[in-house]
Amino acid sequence: MKNRIIKKTQEKISPIGFGAMRLPSKNGKINYLEAEKLIHHAIDNGINIIDTAAIYNNGESEKVIGKALKGNYKNKVKISTKLPAMNIKKYEDMEKILNKQLERLQIDCIDYYFLHNIDLKGMNRLLKKDVFKFISKAKKEGKIKYIGFSYHGPTEEFPLLIDAYDWDMVMIQYNYFDNHVQADIECIHHAASKGMGIFVMEPLKGGILAGKMPEEVENMFKKANPNKTNAEWSLSWILNHPEITCVLSGMNTIPQIDENIKIGNNLKPNSMTLEELETINYAKRALKELLKINCTSCGYCLPCPKGVNIPECIKIYNEKYLFNQKGILNQSLIDYYMTVSGIMINKSNAGLCNSCGKCLRKCPQHLDIPKELDKVKKEFEGHFFKLKVLFIKNIGIKLYQKFF
């Protein structure tokens, strides 16, 4: 891949970066061997930056990366990770967390260090904890090289934060569906005017923009170019922006890595045609009419104290409307009962929510999660939910196995 250059630092970064938030798992834990294969394959084929965070898998993501980068691999890639701003209660917490991250990553210096999940309120809280003093000290001691923040606030606050410090880079949520939700094109231009590196997270909106699409959207894309995948449409749209340094993609299979690298190789800034851009705009409008809850399945809201699998519940609810599933036994209803009701695994359904609100401050999309879960509950659970689950578990499955 042809690397993109951060004007301020002159660092050369691959247009596709490896996002380590959704590493392959086995029995609820990261599969170290599979994750290491993916990381090595990505680096061997031109990716030169890996992004993780202290909160990803409770630190396990950083541990995996630390183990995978032993030997020559450590010199071939830059490491990006994040300080969990929401967990900082006093100045000493920042130093303690950073030292722990260095230990997990098995390195002496972090290349790209981001203050995680920042908006204006969060930044003001960190300022009271002397965050800039912490940054200066960590840089002076050689523990971090470059500093930035990952943004999760309204567009109008973005310039205020960009101008508040001499940042080296910023990380934003940006894709053709969410191009006005947090940081918009004006925000991107403002950051670029300062020579900052601009990293993009959630380029595929938690996989929504890469997988199966509603029939109307699929037809639009296939008519415009039958050879392009849905992921290619989305990643190409982002990389078409010359200001964007790197798209951080959560890839958990070899084919996904190969596809993303191919896109990074082929797409030059400002190369998409007017017809292609119009196709994406049409697709976006169609999706916006169908998507009910603007969730990216990032999982920041977890763990839920009551055990609700919030991303999965919302995902199933969205799919019902995205794919216009109707009928008494539509696929989404079946998925809901088989995955979160307790029939196959532990109960994690929306009805367990008691509106404690602990998920609210964690959500980067600022969703009213208890309110959204109530919609899911009303859609899929209804009256006598526990009895229906018991019937399916003890009688329904046996009848199905016997006659089908």
Residue 304 within any structural domain of the chain? no
Q: Are residues 62 and 209 in the same domain?
A: yes
* pLDDT for the residue numbered 399: 65
In a domain, 23, yes or no: yes
Last residue of one domain, picked from the residues 262, 290, 318: 290
Residue 345, pLDDT score: 82
What is residue 398's predicted lDDT score, i.e. its pLDDT? 66
The verdict on residue 297 lying in a domain is no
* Average of per-residue pLDDT across 91-116: 97
Query: Is 300 contained in some domain?
Result: no
Give kind and range of the element (H or E) at residue 156: none
Q: What is the distance between the alpha carbons of residues 349 and 231, in angstroms, rounded to a whole number? A: 30
Q: Is the pLDDT of residue 284 over 90?
A: yes
Same domain, 72 and 162: yes
- Residue 393 pLDDT: 79
361 assigned to some structural domain = yes
- As a whole number of angstroms, the distance between CA 172 and CA 186 comes to 13
Whether residue 301 is contained in a domain is answered as no
Give the residue with greater pLDDT, 35 vs 329.
35
Is 70 exceeded by the pLDDT of residue 133?
A: yes
Q: What is the mean pLDDT of the segment spanning 365-375? A: 94
Pair of tokens at residue 67: 């183990």
Q: Which structural domain, as residue segments, surrounds residue 380?
A: 310-403
Task: Give the global pTM.
Answer: 0.87
The predicted structure's pLDDT at residue 181: 83
- Clarify whether residues 224 and 190 are in a common domain: yes
| pLDDT, mean of residues 10-15 | 97
Q: Are residues 316 and 180 in the same domain?
A: no
Give CA–CA dist 87/106, Å, rounded: 22
State pLDDT tens for residues 160-170: 999 999 999 99
Please give the pLDDT value at position 149.
Answer: 97
- Chain-centre distance for alpha carbon 402: 42
> Quick one: 281 and 318 in the same domain?
no
Distance CA 296, CA 63 (A): 25
Query: What percent of the chain lies above the pLDDT cut of 70?
Result: 98
Based on the fold, state whether residues 264 and 370 are members of the same structural domain.
Answer: no
The predicted structure's pLDDT at residue 225: 95
Q: 222: pLDDT confidence band, cut at 50, 70 and 90?
A: very high
CATH of the domain at 8: 3.20.20.100
Encode pLDDT of 248-283 as tens digits.
999 989 999 999 999 999 999 999 999 999 999 999
Q: How many CB atoms lie within 10 A of CB 253?
A: 12
**Count: domains in the chain:** 2
pLDDT at 400 over 60: no
184 falls within a domain: yes
Query: Does any domain span residue 295?
Result: no
Q: Please indicate, yes or no, whether residues 265 and 320 belong to a single structural domain of this protein.
A: no
Based on the fold, state whether residues 342 and 262 are members of the same structural domain.
no
What six digits make up the tokens of 129?
A: 């904890």
Q: Are 182 and 151 in contact (CB under 8 A)?
A: yes
Same domain, 268 and 323: no
Q: Are 97 and 166 members of one domain? A: yes
> Which residue type, as a one-letter code, is found at position 282?
Y
As to burial, measured by CB atoms within 10 angstroms (0-12 exposed, 13-18 middle, 19+ buried), residue 72 is exposed
Q: What is the mean pLDDT of the chain?
A: 93
The first and second tokens of residue 307, run together, are 């055990």
pLDDT, mean of residues 22-37: 90
Q: Is 284 found in the same domain as 326?
A: no
Q: Judge if 277 and 319 occupy the same domain.
A: no
